[in-house]
Amino acid sequence: MGILIADHGAVRALTFDRPEKLNAFTADMYSALTAALHDANHDDGVRVIVLQGAGGAFTAGNDLRDFLDAPPSGEHSPAVRFLYGLVACDKPLVAAVEGPAVGIGCTMLLHCDLVYASEDARFQLPFVNLGLSPEAASSYLLPRVAGLQRASELLLLGEPFSAHRAREAGIVNEVLPHEAVRDRALERAAALAARPAAAVAATRELLRASLRETLEDVLGTEIEVFAGRLASPEAKEAFRLFIESHASDAADRA
């Protein structure tokens, strides 16, 4: 349970492996994923990184009980270190999304180069519903890819949306049958890995050079606001109601 690592030639697949909880992230999983991302990013034999989930789910976001027991407390907390690791990653990131992609499961996709989703994938940005605010620089990236009005709808209302809606919003490249998603993501990752590595790196750097400094600044601001919201009476009440209403649910998640 945690993060599975498998190499497919020059492609390294990182699999969120907690299927009994729909791969909801714990602090330990964040730490393991950050380390795996760092290792892949600094391994000359790895040209492309694939992110995916085990058991037919991408990730249902944060495990709420674990999250409340050890809330993000600054730049050294596991969740925050993962976010900065995403921004710092130099290798192309490809995501294969099946089932739920909630909270961080959705916002991390904004940092990926290519995203493939199954027809049954379901996305949600439920931060406001929990009395919280956006993370992973999504307050900057989502309006950039989806437009201000569409980003406002997704972030302010926090309602679930389909894979086809995610594609319309620019979060997803392609929607496929469930059984085809992983193969498609690996096939596209392999095709990317087969391209001239220096040219891919230079092109990716040009695409992202103007973003990186801005994203780090936005991350810092979002983390500060998020921490304030997490400590607010509004958020505490929202969390209490959520946990009570999902008391029988095996995966408490955000």
Inter-residue contact 79 to 223 (CB < 8 Å)? no
Read off the pTM: 0.94
H runs (alpha helix) in the chain: 27-41, 64-69, 78-88, 104-107, 138-146, 148-157, 163-168, 181-194, 197-230, 233-245
Mean pLDDT, all residues of the chain: 94
Inter-residue contact 26 to 63 (CB < 8 Å)? yes
pLDDT tens digits along 173-225: 999 999 999 999 999 999 999 999 999 999 999 999 989 889 999 999 999 99
Q: Where are the domains of the chain?
A: 2-178
Q: What is the DSSP letter of 236?
A: H
pLDDT tens for the chain, residues 1 to 254: 699 999 999 999 999 999 999 999 999 999 999 999 999 999 999 999 999 999 999 999 999 888 888 887 777 899 999 999 999 999 999 999 999 999 999 999 999 999 999 999 999 999 999 999 999 999 999 999 999 999 999 999 999 999 999 999 999 999 999 999 999 999 999 999 999 999 999 999 999 998 988 999 999 999 999 999 999 999 999 988 888 887 645 444 44
Please name the fold of domain 2-178: 2-enoyl-CoA Hydratase; Chain A, domain 1 (3.90.226)
